[in-house]
Amino acid sequence: MSEQTFLVLTALAEEPLHGYAIVQAVEQLSEGRMVLRVGTLYGVLDRLVSDGLAERDREEVHQGRLRRYYKLTDSGVRALQAEVARLSANVRAASAVLRGRGVQPWASRA
Amino acid sequence: MGESGVRNLERRYRTLLKVLPKWYRRDREEEMVGIFLAERNDDLDLEHSWPGWGETFAVLGLAVRTHLAAGAALTGVPGKVVWRGEVVRALGMIGLLLGLFYGVAAIVNLAVAYGNPAFAPGITWWWLLELGPIVAFAALLSGRRTLAKIAAAAPVVLALGSLGQPQYMLLWGVFQLPSIVTFVCLCLGFHREAPTPPVRRLVWWGGGAMVLGLLGGFATGAGLLAVGLITVIVRVVAFVRGDVVLGRAVSLFAVLQLVPLVFLVVAGSEILVPAAGLALLLVLTAVAPVRRPSAQGFRV
């Protein structure tokens, strides 16, 4: 699972969101590292929908513009859960190695 | 502001979105324009700004993925465009198989020339680029797409070496057409959403191409004719099996081969009669129907 997909799933796990809200949520979750382009966002959303991990929710018109909401499906929640387990295991393994070298695993950011 | 109330920036974004297929735009355009213009309220900005490079490239990438959709990667793709991406990928694979054939033939020719002092000085390190398609084929099957695309560019780079001599430009264009088309098909067809090709089946095809290359390397001059004949045979097999994607891809491939063949015929080559006969067979290959009228549905 790419980092983009992971972050979009995470954003949708909280509540159903429309496209622009997903872009904002991903930027926040990644602390500004990842700004999704519209073309990229729809590539990710198309893939999630066709894999059955997300689905279309309600539509709203906001200031004359269409907003279509997307929500996570049950298998989307399970996919996110599995990815979190995988990443956590990696983090635990790396932390153990760093501790073995006498280094703090959680370095403070400059 | 324009009379219709649509601002320049919105018009420019809508123009950019025209690179996407119509069926996709019908469903998504309004939603996407909404995101592009979210929180952009400044009058100057709305009148004089243009879509940024990053957004433009992302939309172009989406255009490739939707025009050449991989069967399972999108929902709501109209049936008549589903096969387009599959044909481009199949054409790229056939081009690579041709590259395997020529690559192995080049190795054989080198081995033969190596022992012959008359030919040995003609061998340069450029020769290594002939192996590009072999690397590309292996890389593609193992899922390393970027490496595959770089390696597939090797024959094109090799041909660029001859650009210094303008009299060979036409010859270069004619004989490198399959390599160029293969490279373009691989770049466009094997995008991020496209599936990895079936390894087991392609290993057999690749092995076959390499064995033929081994034989072709020893039988000099017959390479083009052998490739043409195999094209015709594969096309017949595809028709009998009702494999529409393979049939269309081979038809396009036949057109690619016709170009150098016609060149040979016009130039009055010494293999004029077989070349003309083969050209006729390839024309039939290119225009013959891809499935029997009685066949049920498409096999994509």
Name the residue ranges covered by the structural domains of chain A.
3-100
Residues B95 and B178 in one domain: yes
Rounded Cα gap, residues B238 and B87, in angstroms: 13
Instruction: Report pTM.
Output: 0.74
pLDDT of A22? 96
CATH of A3-100, one of 1.20.120.420, 3.30.420.240, 1.10.10.10, 1.10.3720.10: 1.10.10.10
Residues B237 and B299 in one domain: yes
For an interface test with A, the pick among B14, B36, B41, B62 (most A C-beta atoms closer than 10 Å) comes out as B62
Is residue B276 within 8 Å of residue B265, measured between CB atoms? yes
Q: Do B37 and A23 touch (CB under 8 A)?
A: no
Rounded Cα gap, residues B284 and B235, in angstroms: 10
Residues B207 and B93 in one domain: yes
Last residue of a domain, one of B67, B96, B114: B67
Determine if residue A31 is left, alpha or beta; phi over 0 gives left, psi from -120 to 50 gives alpha, anything else beta.
left
Number of domains in chain B: 3
In sequence order, what are the beta bridge partners of A17?
A70
Give me the domain span that covers residue B275: 222-300
Residues B114 and B56 in one domain: no
Percent of chain A with pLDDT over 90: 67
Q: Do B74 and A40 touch (CB under 8 A)?
A: no
Residues A4-28: tens digit of each pLDDT:
999 999 999 999 999 999 999 999 9
Residues B175 and B150 in one domain: yes
Q: Which of B164, B158, B95, B173 is nearest to B127 (CA)?
A: B158
Q: Does residue B253 sit within a domain? A: yes
Query: Minimal Cα distance from B54: which residue of A?
Result: A37
* Interface residue ranges in chain B relative to chain A, Cβ cutoff 8 Å: 28, 30-38, 54-55, 57-62, 65, 72-75, 192-193
- Average pLDDT, consecutive stretches of 10 residues, N- to C-terminus, chain B (300 residues): 70 94 89 88 85 92 84 65 81 87 82 68 68 90 89 77 66 77 89 79 84 72 72 86 81 81 72 76 82 50
Strand, coil or helix: A67: strand
Residues B136 and B162 in one domain: yes
Residues B270 and B289 in one domain: yes
pLDDT of A104? 82
Task: Write out chain B residues lying below 8 Å of A65, CB-based.
Answer: 30, 33-34, 37-38
Angle of CA points B253, B257, B261, to nearest 5°: 165
* Interface residue ranges in chain A relative to chain B, Cβ cutoff 8 Å: 19-20, 23, 37-43, 46-47, 49-50, 62, 65-68
| Nearest residue, CB atoms, A68 vs list B31, B57, B72 | B31
Q: Does residue B180 sit within a domain? A: yes
The alpha carbon of residue A51 is apart from the nearest alpha carbon of chain B, in Å, by 8
Rounded Cα gap, residues A56 and B76, in angstroms: 13
pLDDT of B129? 78
Last residue of a domain, one of B179, B200, B220: B220
- ipTM (interface predicted TM): 0.84
